[in-house]
Amino acid sequence: ALVAIGEVSKQIFKQDPDFFPIKPMDYGRFLVISLGTGSSKFEEKYDAQKAKSWGVLDWLLSSGSTPLVDIFTRASADMVDIHIASVFKALHSEQNYLRIQDDKLRGTLSSVDVATKDNLEKLVNVGEMLLKKPVSRANLETGQMVPACSDTEETNEEALKRFAKLLSDEKQIRQARSPK
């Protein structure tokens, strides 16, 4: 999501006609949907007492997992989400950033390489449940995802429909302006 924002910003600065008439720094017009693959953020995978005595190899591979890679991957994802959420909040356009992610996956559901029919069906159920949940935002103090504070509690499904409508309207405006 952060790379996409950067790439669009570059095209705006280059005055790419596809992004006309957006002005540089007009980030209030950005719509960003960030779909996570799910994680086991709150699953206690590593024990501090054991980890304190780990050597280099243990940090690279421990009990069938890769602690160092897991930690860097989670930290990177969290920092990107917090950064984007901060920017959109500062621009008073929080409703233009939608992050859909389940951080409470456990076991094989949180693994990226378990493609059994049973696991994939369970992941479909996770996705369907996520659609029904209220929109969440990163708490900028704790990094935790919390329900978005708004007058009307919007679900992820409703937010996606709202984004689709905004994008459809924008496409119609651009087509009307475009010489045929």
pLDDT, tens digit (0-9, with 9 covering 90-100), for 23-50: 666 777 889 999 887 776 655 677 788 8
Q: How far apart are CA 10 and CA 14, in angstroms?
A: 6
Q: What is the CATH number of the domain that holds 81?
A: 3.40.1090.10
Residue 11 located in a structural domain = no
Question: In total, how many domains does the chain have?
Answer: 1
Is the residue at 18 inside a domain? Answer: no
Tokens of 46: 């590593």
Round the average pLDDT of the chain to a whole number and report it.
84
Please tell me what DSSP assigns to residue 83: H
Write the CA distances from 126 to 38, 45, 111, 136, integer angstroms.
9, 21, 14, 16
Q: What percent of the chain clears pLDDT 70, i.e. is strictly above it? A: 90
Domain span holding position 97: 32-40+55-177
Q: How confident is the model at residue 108 (pLDDT cuts 50, 70, 90)?
A: confident
